[in-house]
Amino acid sequence: MVTFAVAPVEANVIKVCSHDKNGNPVSLRKEYDEEGCTEILQSSPNLDGDAVLPSPNGFVLGVVRAYNEHHHLILRPDDVWLAIATQFGLFVNKNAEEVRHSLVKHQEGSKELVVFGGGTLRTANYGELASQMIDQMTDHLVDPSLSEWILPSFSTTTNHDRIVGSVVMMASMKKYFSYKFVLRCGVPSVTLLGTVADWEAIRNRVDKLTSFGPIATGWRDLLVPVLDQFVAAANNKPDVEFWQRICHYYPGGSGPSYLSGWITVFTVFGENGEWQGSERVVRGRHEEVRSDFPVIDTNDVAPGYLTVNVTIDDNGVEYKSLMFAGHLSFEKVQERSIQPSLSWAMVLKGKAESK
């Protein structure tokens, strides 16, 4: 790092005017409205805060403002290089066909690049996915080291700088590629213990629910297709797509969060036994998402256990007790696996009562 004097002037305090803080640096840009954008799903952490002053060109116009209004100027190598890389992107997009032969192997059209990642719409790590997209792109480049040239790698470079560089490179090459992020939450593997007969027995047992009225029958109808998949998997015929749809989580920020996916057929009754298995739509601020399975408010996921009062007569001395039974926990198995755990407990209440 080096600091040096430039002009014999006093540094002025930066005056923040109302027009400096009139919105988010992203939502203020013309493309946000032109492309019909409605929500910022994720961003680098430096897009918010009292010190952030939105600008259509934070490098050029920021430097100009420092120069004109007598403010100290701080520059990182990443700022200068990515300003150059951004200009390079504009050049490439304007002259895509003229420079195609220097950049990509395919000499016509556009190739779709697909990256798979974990999470959901609002939980995925989009910065990481952008970085992976550059890895996908490399195989199609005339010069595989192009990404090393574009991405910053200085002593000041942060992970967010690398993400910025990755997105800048994606945008620079958008005349040659289209991009797709495929989000797939899931478990690496599933182990079903027991025998095929065990899983078939569960499937057959739920048919008895039809004798308990229309609500229980409706629940049976939800359970059957799920349990059929368990039987198929036990027969070494797993439907991987089904197992990738275990659950979908919709975080609600300051509002309610929701759970869907086939796991919700195991919580269609609330804590007090009320039916909650009819909702199929998640209603967000800007969209509605429909589900094939019940949509449950995460606060309404029912306890996985039941309790019952029992009186204990210990040789003429009575005790009030409470028994717990059910899924009171899950276990960590060999560091990388989770297994639901069934437990029971007898709990003493209050003091003993003599007869």
Q: What's the domain count of the chain?
A: 3
| Residues 30 and 149 grouped into a single domain | yes
| Residues 124 and 106 grouped into a single domain | yes
Residue 116: per-residue pLDDT: 84
Residue 12 belongs to a domain? no
From the list 119, 122, 45, the residue with the least C-alpha distance to 284 is 122
| Residues 254 and 278 grouped into a single domain | yes
Q: Which residues is 337 bridged to in the sheet? A: 333
Residue 290: per-residue pLDDT: 84
| Residues 260 and 157 grouped into a single domain | no
Residue 188: per-residue pLDDT: 86
| Residues 244 and 309 grouped into a single domain | no
Q: Give the strand pairing for 296-297 and 288-290.
A: unpaired
Q: Left if phi > 0, otherwise alpha if psi is -120 to 50, otherwise beta: which for 186?
A: left
Last residue in a domain, options 151, 183, 215: 183
Phi and psi angles of residue 323, each rounded to the nearest 5 degrees, phi first: -105, 135
| Residues 82 and 201 grouped into a single domain | no
Which residues does 47 contact at the CB level (< 8 Å), separation at least 6?
Answer: 24, 25, 26
| Residues 172 and 203 grouped into a single domain | no
Residue 276: per-residue pLDDT: 95
Residue 232: per-residue pLDDT: 97
> Which segments in the chain show pLDDT lower than 70?
18-21, 251-255, 284-287, 352-355
Q: At what angle do helices 126-138 and 159-172 cross, to 10 degrees?
A: 50
Sheet holding 317-333, edge to edge: 305-314, 317-333, 337-354
Residue 2 belongs to a domain? no
Q: Left if phi > 0, otherwise alpha if psi is -120 to 50, otherwise beta: which for 213?
A: left
Last residue in a domain, options 264, 296, 328: 296
| Residues 108 and 235 grouped into a single domain | no
| Residues 118 and 232 grouped into a single domain | no
| Residues 52 and 100 grouped into a single domain | yes
Over residues 49-82, the pLDDT tens digits come to 778 888 888 899 888 988 888 889 999 999 999 9
Q: Which residues is 332 bridged to in the sheet? A: 338
| Residues 107 and 176 grouped into a single domain | yes
Residue 191 belongs to a domain? no
Residue 108: per-residue pLDDT: 93
| Residues 220 and 318 grouped into a single domain | no
Residue 253: per-residue pLDDT: 57
- Which H or E run contains 95? none
Residue 8 belongs to a domain? no
Which domain range does residue 342 map to?
305-354
Residue 251: per-residue pLDDT: 67
